[in-house]
Amino acid sequence: MSMVLDIRKAVPGDAPAACALLRRSIEVGCKADHQDRPAVLEAWLGNKTAANVGAWFANQSNHALVAEQVDGKPGELLGLCLLNQAGKVALCYVAPQVLRSGIGSALLAAAEEQARAWNITKLHLHSPASASGFFARLGYVNAGKDTSCFGLECDLLWKQLDAGACDTGAGAAARKRFCNCSG
């Protein structure tokens, strides 16, 4: 599928469309993870309201991005990503109908660029199992299992943005599991 996208900073006015995208992505795109278990799905979707999404977008310590289609269906949001100043990628979701089209990679690259502008050298995130391979292909290292804030067992992933920050000295072997340095 070829389309023209605009990846831009999200604004609070994007919240209703972004919330709908989040909810659909979780309900449909993450079905393998929640397996239609009502308790898990309700917990995962519980804070995905237009009001909350708008507040996340308005929060100055967050950098929220949306991918918007500018051809075909102009203005349609197809993905979103939210980075906070603690280096956490809190959200990275793509509309189910455009999975594996490069939108998620483009959003994450833009978030990583902002992280570098904030002088953040390491990012981390919780990923459901179905998305961990995507993040691994983009250089994120799996540090093991963790439970997300909504109760789903997820992979804790991280990525060193400044490879020069890793050393190859005595402590390097102990950190190998948690560092994607080539040394």
User: How far from the centroid of its chain's Cα atoms is residue 7's Cα?
Assistant: 14
Closest residue by Cα to residue 133 from 178, 168, 100, 98:
100
pLDDT digits (tens, 9 = 90+) for 161-182: 975 444 444 333 333 444 434 3
pLDDT of residue 13: 93
Please give the model's pTM, rounded to 2 decimal places: 0.83
Tell me the mean pLDDT in the region 99-109: 94
Read off φ and ψ for residue 115, nearest 5 degrees.
-60, -45
Q: Report all structural domains of the chain as residue ranges with CATH numbers, in order of start.
A: 5-178 (3.40.630.30)
End-to-end CA distance of the chain: 39
Read off φ and ψ for residue 90, nearest 5 degrees.
-80, -30
pLDDT of residue 10: 96
The larger pLDDT score, comparing residue 53 to residue 173, is at 53
Cα–Cα distance for residue pair 81/37, rounded to 1 Å:
25
The larger pLDDT score, comparing residue 174 to residue 27, is at 27
Tell me the mean pLDDT in the region 22-26: 94
Q: Give the neighbor-by-neighbor strand order of the sheet with 141-147.
A: 122-127, 153-160, 141-147
Confidence category of residue 119, pLDDT binned at 50, 70, 90: very high
pLDDT of residue 2: 64
Tell me the mean pLDDT in the region 35-61: 92
Question: Does 120 have pLDDT greater than 60?
Answer: yes
